Structure 1
C-alpha cells in the first residue's frame, strides 16, 4: 500500500525544486535575456523538474494549493522574470476547467494535464460591459464534428512551445462566447513570434493565427459570460487570479533586482560600497521597506484568493468583488514597487545585465493603467458595489 505524502512535505519539496530551478536559471539569465530566443530550453528545464505537472489545482494527492503555487512563481521570477511569467500564466490557466467546465470535465482535464506535463498558455478576455463589446477577433463556426476556429490573438508566453493555448471565441451561430483549448501544433495554427521586446524577452510572446482550425467537442471547456453583469461569482475570479499570479512575478523581479544589487555592494563591485555610508543604508532601507510592503499586500490578497477558490460555487457576488478589489490593490502596489526598485538599483551599480530587471518590470506592468484600477477600488470602497470591480481587469 502506498502511503500518502503529507501536504506540508509536498510543499517543502516543491519549494526546494523551485529554488533549484531558480538557481539553474540564474546561472545564464543574462546571456539568455540578451539572446531573446523562444524558451524551448527553458520549458524543457521546467518539465524536467516536474513543475508544469505540479502547478495544477489541488486535488487528492496531486496539484498545488494557491498559496504554494504563488510562492513557486515568485521564487522562479526572482531569477528570471520571463520564466516566472510562463509559470504564472500556466498555473492560472490550469484553473480554467474549474472556472468554465463541469466538475467532472475539470477533474479529467487536470488529470490529463498533470499526467502529460502539459504547459499552458493563452489569452482569455474578461467579460466587458455590453456597450464596450466590439467585433470578435476569434470566431467559431459550427460543423458536424465540432467547430472551426478562425482569427488571431496575441499571446504573452510560450506561444510556440506550449501544449495548450486557451482562448475565448464567439460562436457565429449562437453568439455564445466559448472557452476552448488548442494545441499549438494543430493543423491550421500558425505562430508569429514577437521580436525585439523591451523586456520579458524569453517569455515566448507572439501572435497565434488560427486558419480554419478544427475544434473537437472535448476541446470546449464551457461558456464565458458575454458581459460582466452575467458572470457567476466564482467564474469572475478567473481574471483576478491571473493578475494576482502576475503580481508575484513582479514581486520576484523586484526581489531579484534588490538581492543582486546587494551582492554587488557586498563584493565591492558597486558604485558605492557598504562601509559606513549612511546614505547607502537609507537607500537600501527604503527599497527593502517598499518590497516588504508590497509583499504584505500581495500575501493578503493571496490568502483571500485562496479562500475564495476553496469556496467555489458558494462564493457570492459581494465576496468576489472584495477579492477583486484586494487583487487590484495588490497589483497597484506591487507594480509601483517593482518599477521603483528596479530603476533605483541602477544608481548603485553599473553591472552587465542589471537593467534586465527594470525592463522586465516595465513590460510586465505596462498592460494595465493604474488610474483605471484606482477608480474601481475607490468606487468599491465608497459605494460597496460589486459592479465597480467587474471591469477592473479588462
Structure 2
C-alpha cells in the first residue's frame, strides 16, 4: 500500500488545505494529459484509482481528523479541481468523500472516528448508494434484504452503483431487515465472499467513472459492519443525518461546476492555439461570447460557494446542529443544483460551437449524464415551497 504524502498530515489546517490543493492541481494536470484517450476507451478506472491513491487523495478525502482529513470546503475544492480535468474521476471522488462521512451521519459518535481512522490508514475507496428516506425507490420494495443470523445478517440483492463498482474497497448501502422492516446502513468489503461487481458499458458520458451494479449473493454482514439505522421518513430523521443526502448533491454540484470550468478553459486554450494571427481583441463577437460564458460560470460558482459555506458550518456543528438548519442548507443546495445544471449544460454546449476540436464533446456528454436525473422543475417548486412556507421537506427527491 503506497504511503500517504506526509504533507497531508501537517499540524495546521491551513497548511494541509494548501498542500492538498497543490496535490489536486498536480493530479488534475496529470489526468488532463490523457483524458481524451481514456474517455474514448471507457475502461474501468483501475489505473486512475492507482493515481489517486498514490497521490494520497483517497486517504485525505475523509472527514476532519486530528492532524488529517479534510473539512467540507477543502474536500469540495479538491473534487472541483479534479473534475475540471476529468469529470468521471471528480464524481468518483465526490461519492467517495461523501460516503466517508457516513460514520458520522449514521453511526454512533464513538464508533465513527474508529471507522474513519481505519479508512484513512487503509486508503479505502468508498462506493455504493444509500437512498434518501422516503425516496421513490422505497415504494417499489427493497432491492437489498438483510436476513438475521444469530450474530449479524446475510445480505441478498442487487444495487446500482454510480462509480468505482470494480475498483472500490468498500460498498456502502442501505438494506431492509426481512424480520423487523428496519432500514440499516451497512458497509461491505468489496472482496467479501458473495460480492459480484457488474460494470456497465456504452455510457453516454462519465465513461471512466466505473458505473454498474453490485450483486450481494448471500454476503455475511457482521455487527461491526452495521453503521446504524437509516430513517424511514423525513420526520424521524435526526438533524445531522438529514445532511447526508444534500451533502452528496452538493458534492456533485462541484463536479458539474468543475466540468463547466474545464470545458471553458480547454476551449479557450485550443482556440488561442489555433486562432489566426492577430490580437483576440479584434474579434468582438468572440469576446462577447466568452464574457457571457465566464459570467455564467462565476455566477454558478458564487451560488455553489454559498451552499458550501452553509454545509461546512452545519457539519461542524455536529450533534449541536439546530433542527431547523438542515432545511435551510437543503434549500441552498437545491439552488446550487439548479444554477449549476443550467450553467454546465449551457457552457459545454456553447464551447462545441466555439472550437472544433477532437475530445471537447466529452464535457457536454459528461454534463448531460451528471444532470440527466435531476429535474429542474421539481427543485424549483421545492425551493419556492421552502421560501414561502418554510417547510422542512427535502429539496430534491431525485436520486443523486
User: Considering the TM-score relative to the shorter chain, is it more than 0.5?
Assistant: yes
Change (3 A) 1:227 1:131: farther
State whether residues 134 and 234 of structure 2, in contact with CA within 8 Å, keep that contact through their aligned partners in structure 1.
yes
1:125 aligns to 2:121 (yes or no): no
State whether residues 234 and 312 of structure 1, in contact with CA within 8 Å, keep that contact through their aligned partners in structure 2.
yes
Change (3 A) 1:131 1:212: closer
Post-superposition shift, 1:134? 2.9
Q: Please list the CA deviations of residues 30-84 of structure 1 after superposition, one character each: whole Å capped at 9, or x if unmatched.
A: 0000000000000000000000100000021110000000000000000000001
Change (3 A) 1:55 1:41: same
State whether residues 240 and 393 of structure 1, in contact with CA within 8 Å, keep that contact through their aligned partners in structure 2.
no
Residue number among 98, 113, 117 corresponding to 1:92 in the alignment: 98
Instruction: Provide the TM-score with structure 2 as the length reference.
Output: 0.95
Residue number among 287, 292, 314 corresponding to 2:320 in the alignment: 314
Post-superposition shift, 1:273? 8.5
Q: Which residue of 2 aligns with 1:194?
A: 200
Change (3 A) 1:131 1:138: closer
Q: Which residue of 1 aligns with 2:173?
A: 167
Q: Distance in 1 between matches of 2:358 and 2:397?
A: 41
Q: Please list the CA deviations of residues 204-262 of structure 1 after superposition, one character each: whole Å capped at 9, or x if unmatched.
A: 00011111111111110000001121111110100100000000000000000000000
Instruction: Provide the TM-score with structure 1 as the length reference.
Output: 0.96
Q: Which residue of 2 aligns with 1:345?
A: 351
Residue number among 58, 66, 70 corresponding to 1:64 in the alignment: 70
1:103 aligns to 2:101 (yes or no): no
Residue number among 365, 383, 390 corresponding to 1:384 in the alignment: 390
Question: How many positions carry a matched residue from both structures?
Answer: 391
1:245 aligns to 2:251 (yes or no): yes
Post-superposition shift, 1:275? 4.7
Change (3 A) 1:116 1:354: same
Residue number among 221, 225, 234 corresponding to 2:231 in the alignment: 225
Q: Please list the CA deviations of residues 67-105 of structure 1 after superposition, one character each: whole Å capped at 9, or x if unmatched.
A: 000000000000000001110000000000000001121
Q: Please list the CA deviations of residues 2-45 of structure 1 after superposition, one character each: whole Å capped at 9, or x if unmatched.
A: x9621111111100000010011000000000000000000000
Q: Please list the CA deviations of residues 94-126 of structure 1 after superposition, one character each: whole Å capped at 9, or x if unmatched.
A: 000000001121000000000000010110000
Post-superposition shift, 1:175? 0.7
1:206-217 aligned within 5 A: 206-217=212-223
Change (3 A) 1:108 1:340: same
Change (3 A) 1:194 1:210: same
State whether residues 269 and 349 of structure 1, in contact with CA within 8 Å, keep that contact through their aligned partners in structure 2.
no
Following TM superposition, where does structure 1 have runs of at least 4 consecutive aligned residues deviating by more than 4 angstroms?
A: 129-132, 390-394
The SS at the match of 2:395 is helix
Q: Which residue of 1 aligns with 2:186?
A: 180
Q: Please list the CA deviations of residues 328-361 of structure 1 after superposition, one character each: whole Å capped at 9, or x if unmatched.
A: 1001100110000000000011101000000000
Q: Distance in 1 between matches of 2:388 and 2:125?
A: 41
Q: Distance in 2 between matches of 1:294 and 1:312?
A: 28
Change (3 A) 1:129 1:256: closer
Post-superposition shift, 1:318? 1.8
Q: Distance in 2 between matches of 1:147 and 1:263?
A: 55
1:277 aligns to 2:283 (yes or no): yes
Change (3 A) 1:156 1:132: closer
